């Protein structure tokens, strides 16, 4: 059963943090909201709008309220099963579904991260920059920083490709490893 947080906000989430509720309450107070904002079971804080929220509007369109989240979402599927064909209790079926399909904030992401780590470990790059690549990199970094550089190149297989440049106190990190870590932390 849904929880009526207030007249403008209803939640179907069994677990929801206060920050998510506060963010959704702000959205629900917008003058364009028609009726109430609904929070789905996977609702969590987003970078603008609450992920897993339904925002009905009147006289307005929100083209991408939740366009920055990766891989989140729920789907409803219409089945050709009638109520008479269902058992009296769906509890045994629900347990099987819960075990088979990760759902909820952060659930199932550990396995994805472990698979990515295994793949990355098996695909370590063994690339050394050529003299030409080293000179072009030095020129690009000098141009970007306005400083004359003495290049010291080392190969670190843990970066998985890309470059980390340290210039004084400034670190420029363009490595695949850092991008993957950023994505994993967002998951």
Average confidence (pLDDT) per 10 residues, the chain, 187 residues: 91 88 93 91 82 86 61 63 84 74 60 69 67 84 80 71 75 77 70
Task: Return left, alpha or beta for 90; rule: phi > 0 is left, psi -120 to 50 is alpha, else beta.
Answer: alpha
Query: Nearest to residue 45, comparing CAs of 74, 75, 25?
Result: 25
- Tokens encoding 41: 């079971």
- What is the spatial distance between Cα 89 and Cα 174, in angstroms, rounded to a whole number? 54
Does some domain include residue 112?
Answer: no
Domain count of the fold of the chain: 2
Asked if 35 contacts 63 with a C-beta cutoff of 8 angstroms, the reply is: no
Q: Report the C-alpha gap between 13 and 20 in whole angstroms.
A: 11
Q: Are residues 85 and 7 in the same domain?
A: yes
In a domain, 117, yes or no: no
Q: What's the pLDDT at 26?
A: 92
Place of tokens 């994805």: 112
Can you give the residue range of the structural domain that contains 162?
131-186
57 DSSP 8-state letter: B
What pLDDT does residue 19 have? 92
DSSP 18: H
- The answer to whether the beta carbons of residues 162 and 175 sit under 8 Å apart is yes
97 shares a domain with 49: yes
Asked if 96 and 14 sit in the same domain, the reply is yes
pTM above 0.75, yes or no: no
pLDDT for the residue numbered 90: 78
Q: What is the pLDDT of residue 187?
A: 59
């Amino acid at each position: 059963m849904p929880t009526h947080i207030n007249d403008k906000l209803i939640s179907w989430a069994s677990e929801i943090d206060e920050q998510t509720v506060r963010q959704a309450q702000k959205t629900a107070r917008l003058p364009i909201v028609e009726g109430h904002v609904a929070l789905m079971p996977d609702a969590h804080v987003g970078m603008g709008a609450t992920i897993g929220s339904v925002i009905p509007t009147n006289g307005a369109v929100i083209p991408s309220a939740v366009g920055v989240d990766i891989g989140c979402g729920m789907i409803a599927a219409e089945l050709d099963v009638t109520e008479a064909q269902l058992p009296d209790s769906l509890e045994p079926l629900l347990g099987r579904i819960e075990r088979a399909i990760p759902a909820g904030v952060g659930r199932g992401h550990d396995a994805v991260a472990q698979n990515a780590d295994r793949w990355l470990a098996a695909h370590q790059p063994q690339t050394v920059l050529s003299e030409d690549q080293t000179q072009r990199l030095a020129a690009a970094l000098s141009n970007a920083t306005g400083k004359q550089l003495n290049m010291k190149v080392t190969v670190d297989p843990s970066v998985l490709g890309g470059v980390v440049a340290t210039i004084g106190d400034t670190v420029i990190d363009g490595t695949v490893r850092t991008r993957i870590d950023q994505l994993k932390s967002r998951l």
